[in-house]
Amino acid sequence: MFDRMRTGVLLSAAIILCAAAVPGISQNARSTAQIPHMPDGKPNFTGLWEAFGSANWDIRDHSSGPSPFFQLGAWGAMPAGEGIVEGGDIPYTPEAAAKQKENYQNRMKLDPEVKCYMPGIPRANYMQYPFQITQSQKDIAFAYEYATANRVVNMGPFKKAAVDTWMGTSNGHWEGDTLVVDVTGLNGNSWFDRSGNFQSDSTHIVERLNLADADHINYEATVEDKTIYTRPWKLSTVLYRRKEKNAQLNEFKCVEFAEELIYGDLRKK
Amino acid sequence: MRLRFPACFKAVAVAGAVLGLPAPSAFAQAAKVAPAVSATSWSQPKTPWGDPDLQGTWTSDDCIGTPMNRPANLGEKLYYTEEELAQRQGQLERQHQNDLTETVAPDARVGTGPPAHWGERARRPCRQTSLVVDPPNGRTPDLLPEARLRPVPEGAGNNDPKADSWEDFSYYIRCISRGVTGSILPVIYGNGQQIVQAPGYVTILQEMVHEARVIPMDGRPHPGPNVRSYMGDPRGHWEGNTLVVETTNFLNGKTGIGLNGGGTPTTDALRLVERYTRTGPNEMHYEVTVDDPKTYVKPFKIAFPLTQEPGYQNFEYACHEGNYAMFDSLSGARAKEREAAAKAAGKKN
């Protein structure tokens, strides 16, 4: 029992350390036989996935910090974490950098997550909630536990975004074993994290999902937006398959957890 | 993001009873097509892994305006006659013509709601006289005495709602959920159901309030009784070509079985069994048996067709993010109170 536990702990630690040390799990260690496939030979991403780490607090390197509300004590405090932004920082224009600081100062008021608004892309993928991928022979559905947000990646002919939305319009294609998802039509209201890092309605995201083995996806997103960044930049992290035998996508309809905050001053006195 | 106008729903529901039409382009196409029946040459397609393939975006639009409960004078008559259907087809076409007319009659009643043609319309007349198909009288069974006492939150359609708090409003108005039946029953818009299948899963993405039902097909047990939710815990299996979904683990006293989750809230004893049977390339038969032994005297069944329509797709329904109706209802009620208080103070002086 003790040995098994110790092995488990060591293994987890090894995974975490490796994941922290290298962005993405080494492709060399990969054996294609380990990867689940669809009948047509494409990798099968179907399953329940979740990111570890504290990127949803801040996608850049950050130390631990207190909760904005002392009443929450250690419950609401921010864990430290290595950033998922390649190269460390986000190449904001000076104006955009100032806006990010302002966002941060007012984050409890402005972060869409506080109000249970849809998280947008790429944030939905590395919040601390699982999400389910349902991969068909055609389209691929992403159902996120947080706020029941969802999107369907269109794998057919490219569809132009009909209208700007929170979750954007996702068009996918395969490059070998990599699922490439082009996201446009984002409405610009989404943040990348709880630290005010933000996008605009011109932001264009290209996600790349690659199965490192049966239980890990190397996830990366290239972010491009000339209006607020001086150059394209990239974030990357690892998505882990939820392996508990009874793990499933649950319901987190957070609207009712935010109503007092949003409408409280309009309640009859 | 779609704007929501709960106050107009009553007017639209009345208009909807006359039935309506589709997006103009789709209508011209659909009007020439005979009412959906299964094509003789059609056989159920299979996914590459061998399951019946139900994928696509389906809508319950064709039964928009069909009442849940059959008018008593129709007795046990579930289907309209061909003659009656032809008449209703004529109504649809007239409605379509009206919708193309953008002018507003000088004597038109001005309300706070949007014009009726903002809603979706049926493309062909619904053959049924009611959405409830069993019991044979087409009416929802009686409520148990204890269920009659259950408060029903404020739904859509009241221009002067009780608005002390957001909690006075239905879970639909609050953009939380319409429940399982409320998310597929035909209403004024947003009836899209996109089905995506994978080996071991069927996922149904529903436009309005952006629900996503992930249905495991591997026979795993439901979670324990302390894991409960608005949309319940679904488990699916195949019976021939029919997708059967059994859903339990509902929260107690939230949504009801009616349109948009309205009506008497159901309980934690609710168990739904849905059956999705594709009957043609673009037609599907949907039925759901509702069993809540703490609410209704007996189980009952609702059924209606789903269709795939050219160009029809789901859009993002950012309901909560754009819920101006809630702000306006609450702030309007507070303004009225201030006005009344000022008046009362004026009288005293």
* Total count of residues recorded for chain B: 349
Q: In this predicted structure, what is the pLDDT of residue B103?
A: 64
Question: What single-letter amino acid sits at B84?
Answer: E
Cα gap B35→B124, rounded to integer Å = 6
Angle formed by the axes of helices B82-100 and B24-31, to 10°? 150
The Cα of B201 is separated from the nearest Cα of chain A by a number of Å equal to 7
Question: What single-letter amino acid sits at A251?
Answer: E
Q: In this predicted structure, what is the pLDDT of residue A20?
A: 42
C-beta separation of A167 from A153 below 8 A: no
- Assess whether the previous peptide bond of B6 is cis (omega < 30° from 0): no
| A32-41, B170-179, B256-265: least confidently modelled range | A32-41
C-beta separation of B290 from B270 below 8 A: yes
List pLDDT tens digits, range A53-86: 999 999 999 999 999 899 999 999 999 999 999 9
Strands A233-241 and B211-216 come out as unpaired
Is B316 within 8 Å of chain A by CB? Answer: yes
Nearest partner of A141 among A128, A154, A123, A129, judged by Cα = A154
Q: In this predicted structure, what is the pLDDT of residue A26?
A: 52
Per cent of chain A over pLDDT 90 is 86
- Assess whether the previous peptide bond of A122 is cis (omega < 30° from 0): yes
Question: How far is residue A72 from each of residues A66, A75, A261, B33, measured CA to CA in Å?
Answer: 9, 5, 16, 62
Q: In this predicted structure, what is the pLDDT of residue B18?
A: 31
Cα gap B141→B133, rounded to integer Å = 11
Task: Give the model's confidence band at B347: pLDDT under 50 very low, under 70 low, under 90 confident, else very high.
Answer: confident
Cα gap B215→A30, rounded to integer Å = 31
Phi, psi of A72 (to 5 degrees): -80, -10
Question: What single-letter amino acid sits at B308?
Answer: Q
Does A134 contact B321 at a Cβ distance shorter than 8 Å? no
Tokens of A94: 């000076």
Does A152 contact B47 at a Cβ distance shorter than 8 Å? no
Secondary structure, 3-state, A53-114: CCCCCCCCCECCECCCCHHHHHHHCECCECCCECCCCCCECHHHHHHHHHHHHCHHHHCCCC
Strands B192-198 and B201-206 come out as antiparallel
Q: In this predicted structure, what is the pLDDT of residue B273?
A: 98
Cα gap B300→B292, rounded to integer Å = 9
Cα gap A106→A196, rounded to integer Å = 8
Is pLDDT above 80 for A223? yes
Residues of chain A with Cβ-Cβ distance to B261 below 8 Å are none
Residues of chain B with Cβ-Cβ distance to A150 below 8 Å are 205, 210, 212
ipTM summary value: 0.88
Helices (H), ranges, chain A: 2-21, 94-105, 107-110, 123-126, 255-263
List pLDDT tens digits, range A201-219: 999 999 999 999 999 999 9
Segment 59-78 of chain A within 8 Å of chain B by CB:
none
C-beta separation of A141 from B212 below 8 A: yes
Question: What single-letter amino acid sits at B211?
Answer: E
Task: Give the model's confidence band at B112: pLDDT under 50 very low, under 70 low, under 90 confident, else very high.
Answer: low
Which positions ≥6 away from B183 have C-beta within 8 Å? B177, B206, B208, B209, B211, B231, B261
Cα gap A183→B32, rounded to integer Å = 38
List pLDDT tens digits, range A110-136: 999 999 999 999 999 999 999 999 999
Strands B192-198 and B132-134 come out as unpaired
Nearest partner of A266 among B150, B153, B113, B323, judged by Cα = B323
Does A136 contact B198 at a Cβ distance shorter than 8 Å? yes
Strands B192-198 and B300-307 come out as unpaired
Does A46 contact B175 at a Cβ distance shorter than 8 Å? no
Is A148 within 8 Å of chain B by CB? Answer: yes
Is A152 within 8 Å of chain B by CB? Answer: yes
Nearest partner of A117 among B5, B110, B321, judged by Cα = B321
What's the farthest any 2 CA atoms get from each other in chain A? Answer: 64
Other C-beta atoms closer than 10 Å to the C-beta of A5 total 9
Strands B56-59 and A233-241 come out as unpaired
Does A166 contact B49 at a Cβ distance shorter than 8 Å? no
Mutate to test the interface with A, among B316, B328, B329, B330 (most CBs of A within 10 A): B316
